[in-house]
Amino acid sequence: MEKLLKNAEKIKSLEIQGAANVALSAIQFLSDYAHEIEKECQCPDDWFIKLDEVKSILFKTRETEPTMRNGLDYIINKLKKKENQIKCGNILELISKYKEEYINMIENAREKIAEFGARRIPETPSENEFIVMTHCHSSFVDAILLKAKTQGKMFKVISTETRPRYQGRKSAKILTDAGIEVIHVVDSAMRWAVNYFEVDLILIGADSITSEGTVLNKIGSRLLALVAHEEHVPFYVASPLLKYNPQTSLGILEKIEMRSPIEIWDSPPEKIQILNPAFETISRRYIDGLISEAGIFASSHVPTYFAKFYPELFF
């Protein structure tokens, strides 16, 4: 348990970042813990008590991580459906099998998203070079841009710093290393950059998607969506369906994670209240399309496709 708690802290402290990375780490932590407790569990009931305890610990590490929650639910729900067939001797094998299935689901989604999203970048550049803008770090947005690069498409990327933890630098480095020209700006220069560079397309990722098609992403994302709306710039969200939170269809609201004020100012003057919301909502009305493994469509259609692609996770 001590090792599990230390691993959980890696997620909580943001040592592990990115929704996909958090999800993959969490299911690995679940698998590792299952191997540790093998001798303690004499029957399936013992296993499910322990695994549900692990799930609860990992769920509490981050407020806005449906990809992680879906991954843990996927493994445990699949096990519970075979409760009458499994024996303690083969449960580790099944956990490993379902873990690999979920990893493949994420990787297959990434490949499809890259394929569909790259089509939004034109083959032949116009007189003016095609400009894509993004905010924060999204491995799925990166996958689209890297795919477009391998197809020989010509474009520049404007990325934001994404304060206070500067996640935008991660994407900037990945894209630059791949030979893509990147212009990096402070978050507060979003509107100026869209106007000055005459941005053609805005691509962001997502941390969560609700049953109404509302997207939650890094703070600043709604500001960029409003700028896109004002300037008539196509605004797309690249996200696997696994970032859908099925509990929102039952009336449960997705939470906005509030992070430590130390991230913003480690030694502020007394009496200053510092708030550090990690995410904000983007209404479906500002999203031209959601780029997923099922194709590109209105974000409000996510629950339908989620139920079709991942019935094991749908209520």
For 252-293, the DSSP string reads PPPPPPBPPGGGT-SSPPTT-----B-EEEE-GGG-SEEEET
**Active-site residue flag, 136:** yes
Task: Count how many residues are written for the chain.
Answer: 315
Cβ–Cβ contacts within 10 Å for residue 9, how many?
A: 12
**Active-site residue flag, 88:** no
Among candidate residues 204, 241, 236, the one with its CA nearest the CA of residue 221: 204
260 neighbors 278 (Cβ within 8 angstroms):
no
| Catalytic residue from among 142, 187, 200, 207 | 207
DSSP annotation of 129 reads P
217 neighbors 256 (Cβ within 8 angstroms):
no
| Catalytic residue from among 43, 136, 177, 288 | 136
Q: State the pairing for strand pair 289-292/201-204.
A: unpaired
Beta-bridge partner residues of 137: none
Q: Radius of gyration of the chain from Cα atoms? A: 21
Q: 3-class DSSP state for residue 127? A: coil
Beta-bridge partner residues of 292: 295
Which positions are catalytic? 136, 207
